[in-house]
Amino acid sequence: MSENAPVDSPVGSSSSTKRKPMVIITIGMAGAGKSTFVQRINSYLHSLDPPSPPYILNLDPAVTNVPFEANIDIRDTINYHEVMKQYNLGPNGGILTALNLFTTKFDQVLGLVEKRAETVDHVILDTPGQIEIFTWSASGAIITDAVASSLPTVVAYIIDTPRTTAPATFMSNMLYACSILYKTKLPFILVFNKTDVQPHDFAIEWMHDFEAFQQALSSHRGTTDDEGEPTYMNSLMNSMSLVLDEFYKHLTAVGVSSMTGAGMKEFFDAVEASRTEYENEYLPELQRARAAREQTLQAAKEDSMNRLMKDLAVDRARNPDAALHDRWDPEAEEDADDDDTELNIIDRSEEAWPGQYIDVTKMRRRDDEGMTWPRPG
Ligand SMILES: Nc1nc2c(ncn2[C@@H]2O[C@H](COP(=O)(O)OP(=O)(O)O)[C@@H](O)[C@H]2O)c(=O)[nH]1
Ligand SMILES: [Mg+2]
């Protein structure tokens, strides 16, 4: 903490010095409690003194009722049932396609979020129930990258604690979390939810002491065969627990109950710590990657320009007669219409958006109309 930070200064709260809001992306298996958790943090932030209402985005097109009031709801833009019908898809394909269609409009969503950045402290994303739809889709990656390059972002990985008490389940859940961490490279909080049903201390112990985890493994039914000998799964997991040990060092774990509201303060402490991590680690990396990309692009441009010039020179040397005629002739230009030489770029960004309903499911080519998609089987 720097000593000259304007902690108690009355001018510290003026809008010009306001910190950027933190974006919290909730990710987790279906039924882990993502939506309930979003509802809980929403009511927690409202109950603060002074209240600090968040800006909430619901990205689950298939949810029938969300337990919170979303500021932007994918369901306002896309009718998931209509998508399933039009594209002849099942539930998962429908959710994925709906998310893809929504992502084509995400720049506008981001614009709305950025507009509110002056007034809110938290932006919260609730993701579709099925984890893989968000974590392993192009649109999930586009949305994550878009928000993370605009605002400080943290991933809240929600875990169904009562359902992860078996060592093998625990490990697969941790491996999944690990894969998301390495994919997004964002600050990461493991949120052990439903602690009202099952306290999460066993998980903390396993994370801090891999010998305790290996002990649990060897005594658990599922990992020994009929004679009580460890199965191949057991030894595989034994070695993996050593690998995961490194992963655990990079994240924070908190226990919460979205039902009772326990652990909310700890969660937001972890969110604040993530802000520092984002600024010190993610942001420099992002800027470095951007600069590198810019440089590669510039180098490629220069390279192709150089080659073009070289080709031209060779061409002229080989064919001096043609080169003599190959120059600008002011006479020939005389009757050319000057107006045609300028390209008109049209800026449509001024067109109405806020609140406008765009039914992107209707954005199909004309000749698509009436087309029937082949059905397997
Ligand atoms: N006991 C308990 N149940 C919870 C808690 N959080 C969520 N649930 C329940 O878990 C189920 C799935 O929650 P939901 O938020 O829809 O999960 P999502 O699919 O991850 O969005 C619901 O029945 C919730 O009531 C919690 O902290 N404690
Ligand atoms: Mg949900």
pLDDT at site 18: 81
Q: What share of the chain is helix, strand, coil (3-state, %, to 5)?
A: 55, 10, 35
Helices marked H in 58-130 — which ranges?
74-77, 80-87, 91-103, 106-116
Q: Binning pLDDT at 50, 70 and 90, where does residue 370 land?
A: low
| CB of 139 sitting under 6 A from ligand 1 | no
Question: What single letter denotes the amino acid at residue 79?
Answer: N
Residue that has been written with the tokens 């000998």 in this structure = 229
| CB of 40 sitting under 6 A from ligand 1 | no
Mutate to test the pocket of ligand 1, among 35, 36, 58, 157 (most ligand atoms within 8 A of CB): 36
Which tokens hold the place of 90? 């099942």
Domain spans of the chain, in order of start: 22-279
CA of 297 to the centre of ligand 2 (A): 41
* Each residue's pLDDT tens digit, 255-280: 999 999 999 999 999 999 999 999 99
d(CA 135, CA 160): 18
pLDDT at site 324: 80
pLDDT at site 283: 92
d(CA 283, CA 270): 18
CA of 289 to the centre of ligand 1 (A): 38
d(CA 40, CA 46): 10
| Residue whose CA is at the smallest distance from ligand 1 atom 1 | 194
Contact 210, 241 (CB under 8 A): yes
Residue 250 has pLDDT above 80, yes or no: no
d(CA 8, CA 48): 18
CA of 40 to the centre of ligand 1 (A): 11
CA of 126 to the centre of ligand 2 (A): 7
| CB of 260 sitting under 6 A from ligand 1 | no
* Each residue's pLDDT tens digit, 170-228: 999 999 999 999 999 999 999 999 999 999 999 999 999 888 988 888 887 666 677 76
* Backbone dihedral region for residue 53 (phi beyond 0: left; psi -120 to 50: alpha; all else: beta): beta
Residue that has been written with the tokens 């201390």 in this structure = 201
Residue 371 has pLDDT above 90, yes or no: no
Per DSSP, the three-state class of 28 is: strand
Q: Does pTM top 0.85 for this prediction?
A: no
Average pLDDT over residues 247-253: 85
CA of 361 to the centre of ligand 1 (A): 31
* Each residue's pLDDT tens digit, 53-102: 999 999 999 998 889 989 999 999 999 999 999 999 999 999 999 999 99
**Residues for the chain: how many in total?**
377
Residue 124 has pLDDT above 70, yes or no: yes
Which ligand 1 atom is the nearest neighbour of the CA of 257?
27
Q: Binning pLDDT at 50, 70 and 90, where does residue 325 land?
A: confident
* Each residue's pLDDT tens digit, 305-318: 999 989 888 888 88
| CB of 140 sitting under 6 A from ligand 1 | no
| CB of 30 sitting under 6 A from ligand 1 | yes
- The arrangement of secondary structure in 22-279, i.e. its CATH architecture, is 3-Layer(aba) Sandwich (3.40)
| Residue whose CA is at the smallest distance from ligand 1 atom 7 | 33
Residue 341 has pLDDT above 50, yes or no: no
DSSP string covering 311-370, please? Answer: HHHHHHHH-HHHHHH-S--HHHHTTS-GGGGS------TTS--TT----GGG---GGGTT
